[in-house]
Amino acid sequence: MNKRITLMAAAALAVVATLGTSATAATAAPSGTGSGAVDRNVRRTPAVTPRALTLSPGCSGTTLPIDCTITEPVVTTLQTTYNFSFLPGDHVTVNAGGCVQTGGHGLTWKRYVDPASDSDLYHGLITIPGATANLARLVDVVGRQYVVGGRGGSLILGYQDNGYDDNGYYAHDNGTADQCLNSVNAFVHIVIS
């Protein structure tokens, strides 16, 4: 009797294990995409995004192309990780622009991508895991298409400065040498296809 119960339990466990493996395989390779393929038509942001981050509605899209604009990226620290992800095989194009308040005296706003500055500071930075260098200057990334390799990962935006506590988007002025005359606040526009 105990032998029969043991055999029945072993058979039941084998069926459960087989069903679990089938379910895992079904989610790993979506139908029609081939073995090991990644379904890139997925949400790239969490369902709830922190209020401090200003992401366009396109950032939460689930089908390609995904068209995401981040307005007023964080410029009060060297780098900030955003809850926006890239997957292997993504084709990514970045555009960016606008201006940032760098603090100090006089006209202190600077262009975010290509600032007119003699101190080699005030550049917007970006990391697209598996595609760009770590904290690459946006001026070197904008307008080029990248293909994400490796495992992909989360977007990192940064800002190059020697002091962060007075940076931001307040008290707009025309900036050094009028570089921010009639400009908007900084933004980063990402398209994934």
Mean pLDDT across 137-156: 96
**Distance of CA 29 to CAs 25, 36, 94, 150, 152, Å?**
6, 6, 29, 17, 17
State yes or no: pLDDT of 13 exceeds 60.
no
H or E element: which one contains 70? strand 66-71
Mean pLDDT across 138-155: 96
**Distance of CA 98 to CAs 60, 175, 183, Å?**
23, 11, 6
pTM assigned to the model: 0.76
State yes or no: pLDDT of 36 exceeds 90.
no
pLDDT of residue 41: 72
Least confidently predicted of 23-27, 54-58, 141-145, 147-151: 23-27
What is the token pair recorded at 181? 């005359």
State yes or no: pLDDT of 23 exceeds 50.
no
Domain locations in the chain? 1-37, 54-192
CA atoms of 192 and 68, how far apart (whole Å): 8
- Topology of the domain covering 54-192: Jelly Rolls (2.60.120)
pLDDT of residue 7: 38
Is the torsion defined by CA of 155, 52, 169, 59 positive or negative?
positive
pLDDT of residue 40: 72
State yes or no: pLDDT of 60 exceeds 80.
yes
